[in-house]
Amino acid sequence: MDPTAALVTDSTSAGGSRPAVSALVVNYHAYDELDACLTSLGRQRTGVEVIVVDQDTREGQRRVLEQRHRDVRWIPQTTNSGFAAGVNLAAQHASGGYLYLVNPDAVVAPDAIDALVAWLEEHPRVAVLGSLVLDPDGSIQGSARRFPGVWTLFGGRTAWMTRHFPRNPLTRRNILTGPHVREPIEVDWVSGASMMICRRAFDLVRGMDEGFFLYWEDADLCKRLRVQGLITMYHPGPSVMHLGGRSARASSRSIIAFHRSAYRYFRKHAGAVGLVASPLVCVVLTLRLGVKLMLGRNGQPKAAN
């Protein structure tokens, strides 16, 4: 019997005694944006359990939001353990059959969560479903992609060629979103800025790898699910507006974390070839990191989640 066959069924217990969806939000000093995010979650047509892990909490600002959003479960942390660890901590307190990962600087359309769950209920072999993610100006973010590899250096979302020649073949191969996508499509991975995942699938792979402090943990999660025979899809209908990178800010720490996570992902998934090529990859990523740090704010990678 295929152990994954029933992973994405039975999203609620008998009689609906627990919520179908638990929204997991990992916040890091983005309180203004988080207020709008929580308001949008409270406007969903179906009730959603909302859990916020507040990294390196600022008690005064948190208390204000606690009063405004009384149905939210808050888990304040005195330090910042990273996005993956925050998601796992929130999941420990979640009771929903589906986990909805959403960034604190994202505003969720009123019907988005219902639409994502309804689609997953009809497609029980799909473990992860990402939504349409929009920039504030209405442009479509590259939130669904192929697994990273050597060509990501040239056609990735923050690569020079992508910024200056967005329609080049490498970028179009790597980034799978765009106005031409009208129906749900299978992809390698979707951004944790707006990701609906079956709880059973999440538990099957023991959640996110906390060795990723920030960036690429969503790609790693989808990669491990793929190994288990489970599918990730992108749905261009349900949408969120993502301000992008407000929690990360334009800091050297986030730039360093981006490159460390990229190297960790490569070493973890490249196999025997990766062991041989890892010194070269390390050199390339170190050089890229140096350039990004010199460029400062203009060279910072946008949020990968």
Give the total number of structural domains in the chain. 1
- pLDDT tens for 113-133 read 999 999 999 999 999 999 999
Q: What is the pLDDT of residue 302?
A: 44
Residue 94 sits in a domain of what CATH number? 3.90.550.10
Q: Which residue range is the domain that position 144 belongs to?
A: 17-246
Contact 190, 218 (CB under 8 A): yes
In a domain, 289, yes or no: no
Rounded to two decimals, the pTM is 0.89
- pLDDT tens for 1-14 read 454 555 645 554 43
| Residues near 261 by beta carbon (within 8 Å), at least 6 away in sequence | 212, 213, 214, 215, 216, 217
Contact 76, 57 (CB under 8 A): yes
Q: State the number of CA atoms in the 13 A half-sphere of 286 facing the CB.
A: 6
Check whether 16 has a pLDDT greater than 60.
Answer: no
Q: What is the pLDDT of residue 139?
A: 94
Tokens of 149: 């590899």
- pLDDT tens for 150-209 read 667 666 676 656 676 677 777 777 899 999 999 999 999 999 999 999 999 999 999 999
First to last CA, the chain: 35
In a domain, 170, yes or no: yes
3-state secondary structure of 78: coil
- pLDDT tens for 41-81 read 999 988 899 999 999 999 999 999 999 999 999 999 999 99
- pLDDT tens for 95-110 read 999 999 999 999 999 9
In a domain, 192, yes or no: yes
In a domain, 228, yes or no: yes
Contact 194, 237 (CB under 8 A): no
Contact 159, 150 (CB under 8 A): no
Contact 208, 84 (CB under 8 A): yes
- pLDDT tens for 207-250 read 999 999 999 999 999 999 999 999 999 999 999 999 875 545 55
In a domain, 267, yes or no: no
In a domain, 256, yes or no: no
In a domain, 142, yes or no: yes
Check whether 300 has a pLDDT greater than 80.
Answer: no
In a domain, 273, yes or no: no
Contact 89, 227 (CB under 8 A): no
Matching residue, tokens 């990294």: 55
Q: What is the pLDDT of residue 231?
A: 97
Interval 130-144 mean pLDDT: 96
Q: What is the pLDDT of residue 303?
A: 43
The per-residue b/e assignment along 85-112, b for 16 or more CB within 10 angstroms, e otherwise, is: bbbbbbbeebebbbbbbbbbbbbbbebb
